[in-house]
A and B are shown apart, each in its own frame.
Chain A
Amino acid sequence: MEKINEVIVLSEKVDALEGSWIDGEPYVTSTDVEKVLGWQVKPEGLCRGEVCIPIDDGIVSQDDNSLNLKDVAALAGRPSLSAPESGIITIGQPHAVRSKALKDRVAPDFTLPDISGVDQALSDWAGKKRLLVAFSSW
């Protein structure tokens, strides 16, 4: 059912990437790593802005230089769940975002659609006091 040479990534969005599954783990190109995680693969490591994290050789496939997306996500501080039988890796919110919320009290910003499909961000109401009410009608 699922295409073998495809890696579907669920993060804040859904991306269908060219890639492969090796031993149950997803491998994608460095270009796609940047597209999905916002971190760039450079000779010095995994970089965002001025920050670079050294990459372990084990993350890179010997065959085609593709990268183990689960390991790269972990380096970038994101948990993930690989489901090779479904061809999907689900990438969670960064640990640091939640940690800053719980320990440092920095409210994570978010953008979500309202019922008309119009995106609304928490930061759209910066400068005002806000009540964030999480609710479900079940």
Chain B
Amino acid sequence: MTFPVVMDKDHLLTESYAISNVPAVIWIDEIGMISRPAASEFGTDTFTEITGISRETHMQQVRDWVRDGVLPDDASYVVPDLSEDEIQARLHFRLAVHLRRQDRLEEAEKHFDEAAELTPLDFTVVRASMPLRGQNPFGEEFFDLYQKYQEAGFPFHGIQRGKNPSKG
């Protein structure tokens, strides 16, 4: 087993895989087909009390898949496509990141704002921009975001697990 770590600075996978929060774990088989779409899964149980998601349950499911090709019931879940707003927000985010790299901070801020207006609950857009805009991703802005996210019922492009289990 290998564990390459790659950097997706422009968030291209949030577009091609419709990812809207992390962690998101996607199972891909030998011929490049998605066996189980995006789901919140964790490598540790640090957040289990908050999320209701256990590391071991996922690891056991992965073992069953690797050994016997058995898939959990929720693997058939169909992830909804991105909306136009979600697509445009990703483009505003990407543009803002590019402008920031060039030190064009005012222009960057404008597009971070537009992205957040389009998708106020998308973590890959809103929370990801926090450290890039001098905000604290574990600070007040984050807790505001999390509260709104909770009130909205944890919207997520993927299988909703733990406190929002999906039967697929």
Interface of A toward B, CB cutoff 8 Å = 1, 10, 12, 14, 79-81, 83, 85-86, 88, 90, 92-93, 97-99, 101-103, 105-110, 112-115, 120, 122-123, 125-136, 138
Q: Measured between alpha carbons, how far is A114 from B10 in the docked complex, in Å?
A: 14
Chain B residues with CB under 8 Å of A126's CB are 30-32
Q: Is there an interface contact between B26 and A131, defined as CB atoms closer than 8 Å?
A: yes
- Of A101, A115, A130, A135, the contact of B22 (CB 8 Å cutoff): A135
Chain A interface secondary structure, helix, strand, loop or mixed? mixed
| Least distance between A8 CB and chain B CB atoms (Å) | 8
Chain A residues with CB under 8 Å of B107's CB are 83, 85-86
Kindly state whether residue B50 has any CB partner on chain A within 8 Å. no
| Least distance between A114 CB and chain B CB atoms (Å) | 5
Kindly state whether residue B2 has any CB partner on chain A within 8 Å. yes
Stretch at the interface among B76-84, B146-154, B159-167: B76-84
A94, closest chain B residue (CB) = B16
Q: Is there an interface contact between B95 and A129, defined as CB atoms closer than 8 Å?
A: no
Q: Measured between alpha carbons, how far is A135 from B11 in the docked complex, in Å?
A: 11
Q: Measured between alpha carbons, how far is A13 from B89 in the docked complex, in Å?
A: 19
Kindly state whether residue B45 has any CB partner on chain A within 8 Å. no
| Least distance between A13 CB and chain B CB atoms (Å) | 10
Chain B residues with CB under 8 Å of A135's CB are 22-23
- Of B23, B33, B65, B82, the contact of A98 (CB 8 Å cutoff): B82
